[in-house]
Amino acid sequence: MSTDDRGGGAGNAPLRPAAPVPAAVGIDIGGTTVKSVLVGQDGSVLTAAGPCATPVGDVPALVGTVVGLVRDLDAGRGLPVGVCVPGIVDEAHGVGVLSANLGWRGAPLRRLLSDALGSPIALGHDVRCGALAESLWGVGEADMLYVAIGTGIASALIIDSRPCPAPAWAGEIGQIVVEDPDSPGRRTPLEQIASASAIARRAAEAGMIGPGAGAREAEERAQEPDGGPAAMVFASAMSLLGAQLGIVRHQVGDVPLVIGGGLSKGGPLVYDNLARGAASVTGRMPLPRIVPAALGPASQALGAAALALRGAHVPSAPTLH
């Protein structure tokens, strides 16, 4: 498939409704499930459909899944639709450039979905959509650096409640190569040390949790009297991540850090170590304010709907009801 999908028209909403619309459909295509919500222009979730299993490696089947969810929520009204996807995304041309987890390369998703639905389509990166929703209807920060820590690590810069336009690979901070604290002399991508899945793996390798447990269990184990090795896993992971985020702040300015994803609800092991790492590289710059995201796992679908509303020129209110 071509990586330049211009068939749907310029920008990220090739079709526009004739009049302002009261709502939009937001679709979050994840590695295992597809979630969908119907969202009012004030950010209220009117209803939801799914989730459905994500068809991996089968773009036509994925389009069919999305079309079914949209039709369940839209009920023939022709509402605008926003879709967010993981991986490398060309938002300007509506193309999923690469998603290793979902098995596609150069998928012209916006055109395929627009052709199938005849509805306005906006395509966005999942982390940037989550950041947009948090800015509008969650933490309410107009300027912020949003960091999603889950199976990987990615970030998005929000200025004036809008995601900064970004080319491919922007925000992929999990791919920064750092010193491996578990193997001196070895270098590895940051997300192999500091993502939620990496923390769970490292804690299991240290004998602190079972192989099927997650980062939350590792955090609980670290707080037990003999949980020192698990605490060290968190300290090394979050300090490394905090240092990289501190460097990014020197480039983008004194904005708060908003932590989303699986570790957003973590305690001092997450936030104190992030702050310590950021302070280690901050110099004369003010220390960052680090806050947890507010919307939870619905943020990406909400942000996809916000993209669609903006593409249809519908203003979004700043509070979530």
In this structure, which topology does domain 141-293 adopt according to CATH? Nucleotidyltransferase; domain 5 (3.30.420)
CATH topology agreement for domains 23-131+299-310 and 141-293: yes
Q: What is the pLDDT of residues 108-152, one digit of tens each?
A: 999 999 999 987 799 999 999 999 999 999 999 999 999 999 988
Q: At residue 13, does pLDDT exceed 80? A: no
* pLDDT tens per residue across span 92-109: 899 999 887 788 899 999
Identify whether the C-beta of residue 169 lies closer than 8 Å to the C-beta of residue 88.
yes
**Mean pLDDT computed over every residue of the chain:** 89
Q: Choose the CATH number for 23-131+299-310 among 3.40.50.300, 2.60.120.1440, 3.30.420.40, 3.30.230.10.
A: 3.30.420.40
Joined together, the tokens standing for residue 296 give 């939870």
Strand, coil or helix: 56: coil
- Pairing, β 162-163 against β 290-292: unpaired
* Cα dist from 313 to 23, 123, 200, 317, whole Å: 12, 16, 43, 13
Residue 151 to residue 196: CA distance in whole angstroms: 6
pLDDT tens-digit map of 18-72: 445 689 999 999 988 999 999 998 999 999 998 999 999 999 999 999 999 999 9
Evaluate whether 230 touches 199 at the Cβ level (below 8 Å): no
Going by C-alpha positions, the residue among 319, 295, 307 that lies closest to residue 25 is 307
User: What pTM, to 2 d.p., does this model score?
Assistant: 0.87
pLDDT of residue 48: 93
Closest CA to 183 of 205, 213, 210: 205
Domain boundaries, the chain: 23-131+299-310, 141-293
Please state, in angstroms and as integers, the Cα–Cα distance from residue 276 to each residue in 112, 118, 181, 240, following that order. Answer: 46, 51, 16, 9
